[in-house]
Amino acid sequence: TQLLEQSPQFLSIQEGENLTVYCNSSSVFSSLQWYRQEPGEGPVLLVTVVTGGEVKKLKRLTFQFGDARKDSSLHITAAQPGDTGLYLCAGAGQAGTALIFGKGTTLSVSS
């Protein structure tokens, strides 16, 4: 069974701080996706990484896929209250197979 472990589970920071959340597994994934979920809503895709070592940037968010395609990180620069939410990573074992989700990191950014 493929498992994705996310850390930290909870993160509470002040506006303007930087943070990194991690997504780790002992399994190799063909692709890995990061989602953000608001209360009462479904997850919304932020980014997909496919190639080992790949780095993608989305404004203040930087996503990295590990060289071995077993782990990923999300770095947020100068966090803002609007970044508050649940961040989920999800991996696909093979192309077209269902996504397996981590438990998520709940981020709270206060002003």
Partner 1 sequence: EPEVTQTPSHQVTQMGQEVILRCVPISNHLYFYWYRQILGQKVEFLVSFYNNEISEKSEIFDDQFSVERPDGSNFTLKIRSTKLEDSAMYFCASRGQGAMGEKLFFGSGTQLSVL
The DSSP bridge partners found for residue 49 are 32
In the complex, the smallest distance separating the C-beta of residue 108 from partner 1, rounded to whole angstroms, is 16
Write out the two tokens for 3: 């498992």
In the complex, the smallest distance separating the C-beta of residue 54 from partner 1, rounded to whole angstroms, is 11
Label the pairing between strands 10-14 and 105-110: parallel
In the complex, the smallest distance separating the C-beta of residue 81 from partner 1, rounded to whole angstroms, is 23
CB nearer partner 1, residue 97 or residue 110: 97
Sign of dihedral through CA atoms 6, 8, 33, 57?
Answer: negative
- The residues of the shown chain that bind partner 1, judged by CB under 8 A, are 30-31, 33, 40-45, 48-50, 88, 90, 92, 95-104
CA distance 1 to 96: 17
CB nearer partner 1, residue 44 or residue 78: 44
CB nearer partner 1, residue 14 or residue 94: 94
At a CB cut-off of 8 Å and minimum separation 6, what does 5 contact?
A: 23, 24, 25, 102, 103
In the complex, the smallest distance separating the C-beta of residue 56 from partner 1, rounded to whole angstroms, is 11
